[in-house]
Structure 1
Amino acid sequence: MTRSLGATDWRTANRANWDERVPIHVAGSFYDLPGFVAGRNTLRDFEVAEVGEVAGKELLHLQCHIGLDTLSWARRGAIVTGLDFSAPAVEVAEGLAAQIGVTTARFVTADVYDAVQALNGRTFDIVYTGFGALCWLPDIARWAQTAADLVAPGGFLYLAEFHPFTDVLAEDGRTVEGDYFQRDPIVVDAPGTYADPNAPITAGLTVEFLHGVGDVVSALAAAGLHLEFLHEHNRGHFRLAAGQRVPQVYTVRAAKVR
């Protein structure tokens, strides 16, 4: 059920919801933690190819949730830091790192907008942010500046995100039912998560925001990063009819010139 924002604090509502999602995501099959512990990689092939060699590099993962992607980069040799505003998620990530024997990972509990302060101004060779992250942030320009401040000279930001075009599509992947240019907050009050739609979540209120591809790229450019590429991919969560192709995912790599 959607409703108007009113006096809702987007950060408080979203953090409560994500805190409650953590044990559901840990116990369910969507994230397959036993498979991950056994060695499963959560990164998509194009992410690995587009980021390139990470061995020995300092990598920061913003909005890392329970750390599976973060630790997948660590398994490829990166020295990783994961940051998330959910303390229960960070606790799980730390436990997973210990369980799989990764000693080159640290996790920090902080809001993404506070990342520069939380990390004491430290910068990184690679700042990574993955699928389903930007929709939780109201101010994309502030996010871009934060990310740019965290990239070391000669380093880069890599973003892999669901294409906002898919936000206008119904679940069938064919019917247009949304507004690509909507910028008002989207407030939803419903139980469940994408990992388990029937999960009994009590803090069901969430606030999300749409950001067009142009908004994101322009914000990164304004923050002083140099766009190396913008790629669109026909791979995502929709099961489309044979021959039907729409952009479901996009990736951006933007560098900080020395």
Structure 2
Amino acid sequence: MSPPAPPPNYLDLNRAMWDERVPIHIRSALYDVEGFKAGRDPLRPFEIEEMGPVENRELVHLQCHLGIDTLGWARRGARVTGLDFSGPAIEAATRLAAETGIDARFVRGDVLAAPDLLNARYDIVYTGLGALLWLPDLKPWAEVVARLLNPGGQLYLSEFHPLTGVFADADLSVVGSYFHEARSYTEPGSYADPGAATEHNVSWEWQHPLADILQAILGAGLVLDWYAEHDFMLFPRWPSLERTGVDTFRFPDGHPRLPLMLSLRARKPA
């Protein structure tokens, strides 16, 4: 059976879904906005280590949602810009920056229009953690990244490994293709609050195999400096995962180890 074809208004459907979930996420324990205001660091330790120092560097966070991670990098000294296609998300991010006294710029717009919307160049493009699956084609995305970077600047991507996209959420049964395909979901509530009442529940996502991710980045003229695969997730996606740290969940001892996340750095030649 062929995978479903997305309708022409798929972007509007996705935006309506995200717009409606912004207030839900602001109130949720998962995003812990009040904790961030009180000083909680939202960034994952492996990202901080892999990214390296960001002081006085221009950083743009693509598909930034509420901007919490964006502002986390600002607290570490970066000069930050966040971009997201959701108006309510950008409003929330701008409000959070004002409430915490953090200097940041937030812009609403489609990620593929980022170079024209932002009219700036950056030392770091930061993105991931569920960002790529919203893009039908990674080639134009990678070209945008290359246009946004200063010569010598770097892309840092941390993302859920595409292998995880083949498994059912209830268990590890194989239910989806590893290779590129469109997928439609109708899911009320949110991953941050499954019981929340929602009306805009249809979304479209895309599975991207690892080869497509890497070829898009290389095809845009970037140089891959570093790539890693990780055996942990940031949330208990499957019942068999066990907490092994503040934000890390792994399969128990004796279970075959699988790549659950990936991270990479790619550089625009000077």
Counterpart Cα distance in 2 of 1:203 and 1:124: 35
**Which letter maps to 1:254?**
A
CA RMSD of aligned residues (A): 1.4
Distance in 2 (alpha carbons) for counterparts of 1:257 and 1:221: 12
Alignment of 1:83-232 (within 5 A): 83-103=83-103, 105-120=104-119, 122-172=120-170, 174-181=172-179, 183-232=180-229
**What is the distance in 2 between the residues matched to 1:202 and 1:161?**
28
Please give the per-residue CA displacement for 1:183-229, whole angstroms capped at 9, x wherever unaligned. 23111122111111222111111000011111111110000000001
Q: Which runs of 5+ in 1 are unaligned?
A: none
CA 1:6–1:102 in structure 2 vs 1: closer, same or farther (change >3 Å)?
closer
Partner amino acid, structure 2, of 1:130:
G
Aligned residues: 253
Cα distance, 1:139 vs structure 2? 1.1
- Specify the SS of the correspondent of 1:185: strand
Residue in 1 aligned with 2:42?
42
Same amino acid, percent of matched pairs: 49
State how 1:38-77 maps to structure 2 within 5 Å: 38-77=38-77
Alignment of 1:24-39 (within 5 A): 24-39=24-39
| Letter paired with 1:31 | Y
CA distance in 1, matches of 2:118, 2:172: 43
**1:161-201 Cα shifts (integer Å, max 9, x gaps):** 001111112225533222211x2311112211111122211
Contact 2:162 2:207 in 1 (8 A): yes
- Helix, strand or coil at the partner of 1:17: helix
Q: CA, structure 1 residues 52+173, in 2 after alignment: closer, same or farther (shift >3 Å)?
A: farther
Distance between the aligned counterparts of 1:215 and 1:130, measured in 2?
15
Give the counterpart letter for 1:107 in structure 2. Answer: F
Structure 2 distance, partners of 1:224, 1:242, is 41
Residues 108 and 9 of structure 1: is their aligned pair in 2 closer, same or farther, counting only changes over 3 Å? same
Per-residue deviation, 1:8: 4.6
Q: TM-score scaled to structure 1, two decimals? A: 0.94
- Residues 1:249 and 2:248 aligned together: no
Aligned CA distance change for structure 1 residues 92 and 152 (closer, same or farther; 3 Å): same
Alpha-carbon displacement from aligned partner over 1:77-130 (angstroms, at most 9, x marks no partner) = 000000000010001101111111112x1000010011011012x110000002
Deviation string, structure 1 residues 122-157 (Cα, Å, up to 9, x no partner): 110000002000000001001010111101101100
